[in-house]
Structure 1
Amino acid sequence: MQRMVRVDAGTELWVEERGAPDGTPVLLVMGANASGITWPDELVDALGERHRVIRYDHRDTGRSTRAFDVRPYALRDLATDAVRLLDGLGIARAHVVGMSMGGTLVQLLLLDHPDRLLSATVFATSALGAGLADADGTGDADLPGPDPRLLALWQTMGEPRDEAAELDWRVEHWRILNGDGVPFDAAEFRALEERVIAHSGTAVSSTAHALAEQSGLARGAELARVTVPTLVVEAPEDPVNPPPHARHLAAVIGGARLVPVPGMGHALSAAVLPSLVRAIGEHVDAVDAA
């Protein structure tokens, strides 16, 4: 089931629910500038065998409201969107799963809205106040930065391109994000981006989240007080947040558990989905059982 959910006076988010309507809710929170369609159907449907799975488009992506140019916002506002989305769906508490920037947003939810979370799973991300979530450079964690090839490619992110050139750019982006741990299937990711473009109705890539204010993220020290059951999935081939980012994050989140997915980079390729789905599913099911 698909619908639009209003999260403030001028913003609606596209939402899709799949799976078991009576199962505990699982909210999937995608990364920066990425539509919720980026969550593979295989992952959604596997989790949906026992859960009510929700994926959505952040504002300025997919079919959600695009108004950053006239109403700019901060990244932390996207975490508020997630809470208001749960409100709009009538969900009191949910398991939340966040990838990349989505992992940053989930950490903010752990700190500010723990009463709305049954559990948390984060991966391909950095701790608040570290890595890309250390916007002001005041963090003291000695952690590696993104692959220089990515930094160079990101400099061209907002350049105008026709649809064919945009597809080529996105496939190259995924090739680097995939890392070297598993083979890269260019056709798989070209088909993904063709679906994203068809879903969005445009091939113009959003850069809103790269431009959004990043204040309020230097809160790593607060993560020690987290009591929500939290799983950190380690992606050992992640070129954005390479090791030991995941181990650092698991160490600073109170009581977090670390599980590696061998070969995983910063992409949800078919090669890593079975291990990733198993890790998420086992964590969520264990919390439900408890």
Structure 2
Amino acid sequence: MNVALKHYPPESRRIGANGLEFCVETRGNPSGEPVVFIMGLGAQMTLWPESLLNAYAEAGYWVVRFDNRDIGLSTHLKAHLQDHPLKAMLNSRLGRPVAAPYTLHDMAADVGGLMDALEIGRAHLVGVSMGGMITQVLAGDYPQRVRSATLVMTSTNSPRLPMPKLGLVWRLSGIGVKGHDEDAVVARSLDFWRAIQSPDYPTAPHTVRERLISDYRRAYHPAGILRQTRAILASGSLSSITRRIQAPTAIIHGAADPLIRPVAAEQLQYLIPHAQARLIPGMGHDLPEPLVGTIAETSLGVMGLASR
């Protein structure tokens, strides 16, 4: 293990930002360039593989991860949603307004607030899925805050992009969910995981199950997942923001992603022509351990360009 990790082990704390409170963890050398990891829809910060975070810390960076609003140990909101989930999805696909308690722009402001609280002027951003959308907002609208952007299995959120596979749309809507006890939630989550995981790099079911149980016991807040989903639907296409990104950028996507189809990465490459794009065969919508090295290498390469 790198000396930096021995001297600077992971440290968790609660930080107030943008009127909310966030659970934040840092690791690595505080004097190193900061890297902020932004997680995806409905996922706690614990979904980031430890080996991935450590790769950045060992490279000398100061690593920051946190629970997004409405999930994990960060502030849980109480706003009620308007309209049926399927109606909201339809309105979003048709480009119509979607009512939501907050949007991806508010979640980007959360990240900016956290950076302020941590006295970070500029940071490298690594965003996965919804976190990649939040990263686009920050990099496009607040370029002075972003050193580099790594966009992993994400999209511009354009309604013109292909839909996820039908079964996944039904699961994401939250319709028909029954049972909120540990066994029911873990079984439901394991089923969803099987549907999105990398076909060429499957994680052992018992490993996934152990993580799901740990996350359930850490925090379970299904209403927050629905509000985050609504935030995505209400934000509409980010294309006009994405094309303004000037920071060095890496685009990493799975060729077998059933949730955010690979064509989304092609659109990102078109809108950010200076980006380095990597389509990984056999990768789905997850961060499997065998691909951690590939993901870190691609991202760190772009971050190195930004630091010159």
Q: Which residue of 1 aligns with 2:4?
A: none
Q: CA deviation at 1:2?
A: 1.0
The correspondence of residues 53-64 of structure 1 with structure 2, limited to 5 A, is 53-64=63-74
2:171 matched to 1:153?
yes
- Cα distance in 1, alignment partners of residues 125 and 221 from structure 2: 29
Q: Would you say the 8 A contact 1:263–1:272 is kept in 2?
A: no
Cα 1:224–1:89 change in 2 (3 A) is same
RMSD: 2.1
Q: Would you say the 8 A contact 2:71–2:221 is kept in 1?
A: no
2:299 matched to 1:280?
yes
Cα 1:175–1:114 change in 2 (3 A) is same
Where 1:272 maps in the other structure, the secondary structure is: helix
Unaligned 5+ runs, structure 2: 1-10, 81-99
Q: CA deviation at 1:242?
A: 1.5
2:12 matched to 1:12?
no
Where 2:35 maps in the other structure, the secondary structure is: strand
2:47 matched to 1:29?
no
Q: Would you say the 8 A contact 1:57–1:64 is kept in 2?
A: yes
Cα 1:223–1:73 change in 2 (3 A) is closer
Instruction: State the number of aligned residues.
Output: 276
- Cα distance in 2, alignment partners of residues 257 and 18 from structure 1: 27
Where 2:110 maps in the other structure, the secondary structure is: helix
Where 1:268 maps in the other structure, the secondary structure is: coil
Q: CA deviation at 1:216?
A: 4.2
Unaligned 5+ runs, structure 1: none
Q: Which residue of 2 aligns with 1:51?
A: 61
- 1:249 is aligned, of 268, 289, 292, to 268
- Cα distance in 1, alignment partners of residues 174 and 241 from structure 2: 35
Q: Which residue of 1 aligns with 2:91?
A: none
- Cα distance in 2, alignment partners of residues 189 and 216 from structure 1: 31
Q: Which residue of 1 aligns with 2:245?
A: 226
| Paired AA for residue 107 in structure 1 | Q
TM-score (norm 1): 0.88
Q: CA deviation at 1:184?
A: 3.9
- 1:259 is aligned, of 260, 270, 278, to 278
Cα 1:190–1:203 change in 2 (3 A) is farther
Cα 1:213–1:182 change in 2 (3 A) is closer
Where 1:266 maps in the other structure, the secondary structure is: coil
Cα 1:179–1:165 change in 2 (3 A) is same
- Cα distance in 2, alignment partners of residues 233 and 213 from structure 1: 20
TM-score (norm 2): 0.83
